Amino acid sequence: MSSPKDIAVFIDRHLSLLKNERDMEVEQTGLVLSRCAPKLLEQRGLALLNLSVAGINVGLGGKSIIELERSNALSSNPNFPPHSFRPGDVAQIEAHSASSTTAPRKQAKQKQSANSSDVEQRKVEGVVSKVTDSKVFLSVDPQHLDSKDAELPDRCRLVKLANSVTYDRMDKTMLLLKALMCEQDSDAKSRPSVKGSPQLVNVLLGVSKPSRVQALNGVKFFDDKLNSSQQEAIRYALGSPEVACIHGPPGTGKTHTLIEIIRQIIFKPDGTRTGKRVLVCGASNLSVDNILERLLALQTADHAPIKCTRVGHPARVKAIDITLRATLDSQVSNSDQAELIRDVKLDLSNRLSILAGNDKSQKGKRPRGPERKKLWEEVRDLRKEYRKREKGMVQSIIKEAEVILATTHSAGGHALQDMKFDVVIIDEATQALEASCWIPILKGDKLILAGDPLQLPPTVLSVDKKIKKSPEKKAETKPASKSKLISSRSKKTGLRPPNSLEVTLFERLEKTHGASIKRMLQVQYRMHDTICDFPNKTLYGSKLQSHESVAKHTLEDLPTVSDEENHNSQPDSGIHDVLGFPVVFFDTAGCEYFEKAASPEDDGSKSNENEAVLVKNWVDQLVSAGIHANQIAVLSPYQAQVTLLSSSLSPEYPELEVGTVDGMQGREKEAVIISLVRSNEKREVGFLKDKRRLNVAMTRARRQLCVIGDSSTVQTGSDYLKKWMKWLEDNADVRYGGTE
């Protein structure tokens, strides 16, 4: 079992890997930005120039919502050029450099002003909360603004930034964990306190073994359609005292299972409430909103409603009515006590508006001198009052909620500070960095993880960076003397420092405590049996069964196809030829359809024009046989091929989805076409070697998977690829890959 020293080494390694990752992200965004001229940044969609402040309002947490638009004086078109700003992005308002861009008369005037250089230097960071064709709204924390916050420059630009908050939270959490587990000699007062359970932390760090699972044979399930592996996983999750992992291969109803677990925790069998509280987190906003939507849908059915609150920046929440109404912001503004803050908010907004020179009664003039100073004092007092009143409301809403939903990162925000939960659930846990999982874990008594370690791991930019073992990085650890948390019998380590951030907590727990820590869902509700066959045999130990509702379904069974009007241009046998096969393989071996490097510098991306032609032909045939473009996805592991495919397909089929394999994880389409791209005399396969990426690619299709590639190149990549090519040859409908 792990010793304090093992834990310290483990945490230090995490911190060093996180630093590499942060540096890499800054290198790819922040530093690049600082080296580029603003005009170039705008051309790349990373900046918006010639902006002015159209208004300042007050949002949740006393945040200032700064409204920016293109300045009339500087642009004839009020609409923005194409850009990449989206709600949730971190961005910075910067002054336009007066020397290069401001008219000479105005420059002279600005120089007279005592604080003009301050204003020019001023940078205000915030989160994009809303974007329209001609306006962008930035939500800025009060602590980012001092008393000069209305002194935003007359003319400014908005620049995209790397998001450092997520790294700050992970670092802070790992340091807290280290202090908790490794600095036991410090006196009790200075020892950090967390709300979570020491027993849970011990099990997760390999200090102790998981306690005996309680046998729960008499669970009465709310959902009577659960299959036996789902029921078993639910019993296991409910009966495990500390931690349970649920392994959900593609389409096996992971979310379905989690919803039942939540209901079992909240309700007793007779429908009365247990009084327990659950924190549900996901690696992405999408996974959190998916669970939220399903929980809210239960409320419209014949069930007692579960009180849900979605925490996180509203700009990042799925923009549909039902989920938006569950956000903390919305619940605060619609609560009975909202009146309490409404007046203060109005007063605050009015004063900010006057200070920013946006008040009509002042004819756009900014107040100066003592009048300005007095207004600032009032703003400061009003903000204080606003925050005080709002804090009380936020706390009472959070305390009343039975289920709080947040991403692992946003679980570290102010709203959940000092909150404690009976159970923490993390969905998509195999896509979350371990450090980010610890943010919610330290708030819970028990942990349930759901994911599939055989699909893609979290995206890590710094995988190739070597881990430096500098002496100062070595753990400085004192052995525990009076530790309550750490077993004195700790001898052998089960905790190895990770070599990469790609190693997730889910996988690590399996290594530390063995396969008994997890239960696998075994019935899949997505794919035709043949599509499921290869991943099932090679990755899931042949344990997956296809539910009868999908096992034999083909594209021919879709209602759009049986509607004759849709395909009267093709004779029936032609339709069967296109739609009747669950797996189709266009093998281009021997066709000499060679790949191309993306650019002369070759950034590693590749494209293949002939494969793109084959893809287009197949899409044309599917559509003319009655398949809607929005039921089809075209995937490729290479961005350069995605770009090529988009340019040939999107004009004709705007609803068809073209993307990389990575972007399709967690989703499905009726028909999926994969363009493998690699075809070369050197027999190089690059990206395709990753089994997990291939697994995701192979398991997105419900009724038809069409693979287009050169078997002679691909099969040389790995034993796994060789097996797949052989399997395709034996099981797919193999077609001639030539384009003529």
Ligand X SMILES: Nc1ncnc2c1ncn2[C@@H]1O[C@H](COP(=O)(O)OP(=O)(O)OP(=O)(O)O)[C@@H](O)[C@H]1O
β-strand pairing of 518-520 with 403-407 = unpaired
Burial class (CB in 10 A: 0-12, 13-18, 19+), 517: buried
Residues that bind ligand X (rule: CB under 6 A) add up to a total of: 14
Tokens of 412: 């570290």
What residues between 523 and 552 interact with ligand X by CB under 6 A?
525
Cβ-based neighbour number of residue 694 at 10 Å: 25
* Residue closest to 427 by CA, chosen among 251, 283, 317, 292: 283
| Residue 451: closest CA among 242, 635, 696 | 696
Map the footprint of ligand X across residues 64-93, applying CB under 6 A: none
> H or E stretch including 210?
none
**Distance in Å, CB of 289 to ligand X, minimum:** 13
Closest to ligand X by CB, 291 vs 406, is 291
Establish if 253 lies at the interface with ligand X (CB under 6 A). Answer: yes
Parallel, antiparallel or unpaired: strands 64-70 and 135-140: antiparallel
Question: Residue 173: phi, psi to the nearest 5?
Answer: -65, -40
Q: Which of 30, 38, 210, 250: binder of ligand X (CB under 6 A)?
A: 250
Block residue for tokens 């924390």: 141
For residue 566, give the amino acid letter: N
Among 22, 247, 254, 606, binds ligand X (CB under 6 A): 254
* DSSP SS3 for 48: strand
- Whole-number minimum distance, CB 345 to ligand X, in Å? 40
Closer Cβ to ligand X, 256 or 576, answer by number: 256
The answer to the question of residue 252 lying near ligand X (CB under 6 A) is yes
Q: Does 229 bind ligand X (CB under 6 A)?
A: no
Residue 139 or 255: the one with the smaller Cβ distance to ligand X is 255
CA angle 464, 469, 475 (to 5 degrees): 125
Residue type, 583: V
Interface with ligand X (CB under 6 A), residue from 5, 144, 195, 256: 256
- b/e burial code for range 479-504 (CB count within 10 A of at least 16 → b): ebeebebbbeebeebbbbbbebbbbb
Q: What is the 3-state secondary structure (H, E, C) of 546-608?
A: ECHHHHCCCHHHCHHHHCHHHHCCCCHHHHHHHHCCCEEEEECCCCCCCCEECCCCCCCCEEC
Per-residue CA distances from 7 to 1, 502, 542 (Å): 10, 19, 37
Per CB under 6 A, does 522 bind ligand X?
no
Surface-to-core class of residue 234, CB atoms within 10 Å of its CB (0-12 exposed, 13-18 middle, 19+ buried): buried
Half-sphere exposure of 595 (CA within 13 A, CB side): 29
First to last CA, the chain: 64
Asked if residue 431 binds ligand X (CB under 6 A), the reply is no
The nearer residue to ligand X, 129 or 524, going by C-beta atoms, is 524
Collapse the DSSP code of 424 into the 3-class scheme (helix H, G, I; strand E, B; otherwise coil) and give the result.
strand
Which one among 4, 38, 153, 251 touches ligand X, defined by CB under 6 A? 251
Could you tell me the smallest distance in angstroms from the CB atom of residue 372 to ligand X? 55
Task: Establish if 314 lies at the interface with ligand X (CB under 6 A).
Answer: no
230 binds ligand X (CB under 6 A): yes
Residue 279 φ/ψ, nearest 5 degrees = -105, 115
- Residue appearing with tokens 């080296």: 35
User: Which region, judged by CB under 6 A, interacts with ligand X, from 247-255, 320-328, 417-425, 636-644?
Assistant: 247-255
430 binds ligand X (CB under 6 A): no
Indicate whether 468 belongs to the interface with ligand X (CB under 6 A): no
Is 717 in contact with 685 (CB distance < 8 Å)?
Answer: yes
Considering only 52-60, 209-217, 248-256, 618-626, which stretch makes contact with ligand X by CB under 6 A?
Answer: 248-256
Nearer to ligand X, 139 or 227 (CB): 227
Shortest distance, CB of residue 427 to ligand X, whole angstroms?
Answer: 8
The residue among 596 and 691 lying less far from ligand X, judged by its C-beta, is 691
* 222 forms part of the interface with ligand X (CB under 6 A): no
282 binds ligand X (CB under 6 A): no
Query: Which CB sits closer to ligand X, 250 or 637?
Result: 250
226 binds ligand X (CB under 6 A): yes
Question: Could you give the maximum distance between any two Cα atoms of the chain, in Å?
Answer: 86
Phi, psi of 734 (to 5 degrees): -85, 130
Q: How far is the CB of 301 from ligand X (least distance, A)?
A: 14
Here's the x/- map for ligand X, 662-681, by CB under 6 A: it reads as: ----x---------------
Region near ligand X per CB under 6 A, out of 90-98, 127-135, 182-190, 223-231: 223-231
459 vs 663: CA distance, rounded Å = 11
Among 27-35, 158-166, 253-261, 356-364, which window interacts with ligand X (CB under 6 A)?
253-261
Rounded to an integer, what distance in angstroms lies between the CA atom of residue 439 and that of residue 503? Answer: 17
Member of 20, 50, 184, 255 binding ligand X (CB under 6 A): 255
Least distance (Å) between residue 583 CB and ligand X:
19
**Applying CB under 6 A, does 442 fall inside the site for ligand X?**
no
Binding mask 153-172 for ligand X (x = CB under 6 A): --------------------
Cα torsion through 447, 452, 454, 458, rounded to 10: -70
State the nearest-atom distance from the C-beta of 255 to ligand X, in Å. 3
Q: Does 206 participate in binding ligand X (rule CB under 6 A)? A: no
Between 345 and 703, whose beta carbon lies closer to ligand X? Answer: 703
Least distance from ligand X to the Cβ atom of residue 252, Å? 5
Does 227 sit near ligand X (CB under 6 A)?
yes
* 699 Cβ neighbours under 8 A, 6+ residues apart: 249, 250, 251, 526, 527, 531, 532, 535
- Rounded CA-CA distance 335/317 in Å is 20
From 70-78, 244-252, 309-317, 578-586, give the range in contact with ligand X by CB under 6 A: 244-252
Least separation in angstroms between residue 254's CB and ligand X is 3
4, 248, 412, 497: residue in contact with ligand X (rule CB under 6 A) = 248
Q: Which residue is nearest to ligand X (CB)?
A: 253
Whose tokens are 């965004």? That residue is 29
Tell me if 142 contacts ligand X by CB under 6 A: no
Q: Is 457 in the site for ligand X (CB under 6 A)?
A: no
Q: Could you tell me which stretch among 102-110, 135-143, 219-227, 432-440 binds ligand X (CB under 6 A)?
A: 219-227
Q: Which residues bind ligand X (CB under 6 A)?
A: 225-227, 230, 248, 250-256, 525, 666
